[in-house]
Amino acid sequence: MIEAHLAKVYAIWLREFKVFLREKSRLVASTFTPILWLFVIGSGIGSAAGFDAGNVDYQTFIFPGIIAMSIIFTSVFYGSYIIWDRKFDFLKSVMVAPVSRGTVFVGKTLGGMTTSLAQAMILLAIGAAIGIPFTAVSVAQAVAVILLMSFGLTSLGLALGSYMYSLEGFQMMVSFVVFPLFFLSGALFPLDNLPSWLGALTTVDPATYGVSSLRGMMLGIGSADPLIDFGILVAYTAALGTFGILSFRRMKAV
């Protein structure tokens, strides 16, 4: 029974992975923006304004946030594939197959995670090239955070996609999601000494705990204990995954 369930998840993931391999330009385009932010914003703002975050420069400080940026945008926008599948009737054929909607959801979510992980690994390689002090342990910890973040945010994107029937509507809705997730996560600035209203907003942003975990594990300068951040991220991931499954169960294929 478990083997049959895993085989169905694998089949759906494999389809998503093959789509990803056929769209190499998407990987290049979606990786270019984080790299641009890292070098242009990181170097430009870092040289124009005084910045003090321990013993790291601004470009190094925002590096974990740029990885989070890549995950946020890629994972949430992955929900648009639900709309494409609906338009080309692939979704209908999957929904009438003897496969539970939870299985379909998990398979698609793993496909989104694969895309996010591929982009994050490119950024990690760039980080090593510019002098981010990685160790084998910190890389393994970072990959665990990346997988958690991408699962939770891909779940969110798929859930949003399940409610939408046009790409235009989806893109408009997602714009109200991804930008607050990114800008309130502390990816670009320290979370210490923020105004109370802004600090309150950052605490309800799941990406905040991903950025803080990555920064603590890579640079040792997180705003809290990385293990606490990691635990909160696990809870957010479970909640978003549950939301995604429930959304899939009520979704119409047409």
More confident position, 191 or 26:
191
184 secondary structure, DSSP code: T
Residues 75, 110 contacting (CB under 8 angstroms): no
Q: Chain-centre distance of CA 112, in angstroms?
A: 9
More confident position, 86 or 184:
184
pLDDT beyond 80 at 81: no
pLDDT beyond 70 at 187: yes
pLDDT beyond 60 at 253: no
Buried b (16+ CB within 10 A) or exposed e, 218-240: bbebbbeebeebbebbeebbeeb
- Rounded average pLDDT over 37-41: 84
Query: ∠ CA 180-183-187 to the nearest 5 degrees?
Result: 140
pLDDT beyond 90 at 162: no
The CA-based dihedral angle spanning residues 5, 95, 80, 6, taken in that order and rounded to the nearest 10 degrees: 10
Identify the pLDDT of residue 91: 67
Identify the pLDDT of residue 164: 79
